[in-house]
Structure 1
């Protein structure tokens, strides 16, 4: 794919890097530490968009001709947002809560250029089977899901044995709604 300008990805996520590379796009990774706090008055999809946009704002002064992509994925069980677990106990509690339930995964994406910003999100509904304690503990011990919202990665063992079905795009749950991102990059004439 040809790009009209250099492309930057502001993410440490190996999954986002892999997905963006799979689109055939050349990009550079730039990462800054940015607070992930958000106003508690926001609706769920607004949280994901707010965080993606907030991350992008940290790079605004650095941009010249580049286009910057930021993203943030949240896992929502009813009205509760499950962030990244800080411990094995917290990961267990999250997975126990998700077990046998349906939840929503929302990824907000921001494409920032000197001349403007585009923000959007995608949402996927995920159906988990009832997980046993042994399955949850095995997953936490072997996969250490402390860098993942909701304490799980759909592409990992727990996704293979625990997720019965999804409604929406799989890649959104992995961490980047690549189809929507690609369409936006085409509309913005970044991909030509």
Structure 2
């Protein structure tokens, strides 16, 4: 259905994330991938969704639009916990520290998406609240060692083992936690092509 609605557009995913690729495929889009490596640092005065909005737009700005009918989709996700943005852990110790800080508490997963064409740019974000169980150190190290969550904000993938045993409650979009709020993406894309 969506492929027909967007038949006149070339959808470009500006990400190498296997999860984002899978979601666009599952939605029925035909798309190409054209990602760019950018410096994901941001001005230190930014907080929460300001951070992910900024990085999602920077990712889109780094990709050249080649055709008039292209729509570039980029996204950035962070975990916001105790007034701190948790990005991707660099090593086992950092992954453990991040996961331990989430245990027994509620945090927010924030994803921003940038839609960009030759004529316009739109950035939106989605916030999901997630409550983690108070997992043992043994469980945390098992997860880290088995799943190597070094490519995931907050050091976890909800679709993996830790999501099956460690999540008490989700308030909001599940797909947002994985890295791309699909329902919101479709709604925003439909608005984007009407403007």
1:73 to 63, 72, 77: 77
Q: In the alignment, which residue of structure 2 is the partner of 1:14?
A: 18
Alignment partner, residue 27 of structure 1: 31
Q: TM-score, normalised by structure 2?
A: 0.94
Q: Distance in 2 between matches of 1:117 and 1:38?
A: 19
Contact 1:60 / 1:114 at 8 angstroms: preserved in 2? no
- Count how many residue pairs are aligned between Structure 1 and Structure 2: 190
Tell me the CA shift for residue 20 of structure 1: 1.1
Pairing 1:35-184 to 2, within 5 Å after superposition:
35-60=39-64, 62-184=66-188
Shift of 1:65: 2.2
CA distance, structure 2, for counterparts of residue 187 and residue 61 of structure 1: 20
**Structure 1 segments (4+ residues) deviating >3 Å:** 60-64
CA distance in 1, matches of 2:99, 2:192: 39
Question: Which stretch shows the higher mean deviation, 40-49 or 58-67?
Answer: 58-67
Contact 2:11 2:72 in 1 (8 A): yes
Q: Per-residue CA shift, 1:90-143, capped at 9, x if unaligned?
A: 001111111111100000000000001010000000000001011001000100
For residues 158 and 182 of structure 1, the distance between their equivalents in structure 2, rounded to whole angstroms, comes to: 28
Q: Structure 1: which 5+ runs fail to align?
A: none
Find the residue that maps to 1:119 and give its secondary structure: strand
Query: Which structure ranks higher in relative contact order (CA pairs < 8 Å, sequence separation ≥ 6)?
Result: 1
> Alpha-carbon deviation of 1:59?
1.4
- Report the TM-score, using the length of structure 1 for normalisation: 0.96
Which segments of 5 or more consecutive residues in structure 2 lack a partner in the other structure? none
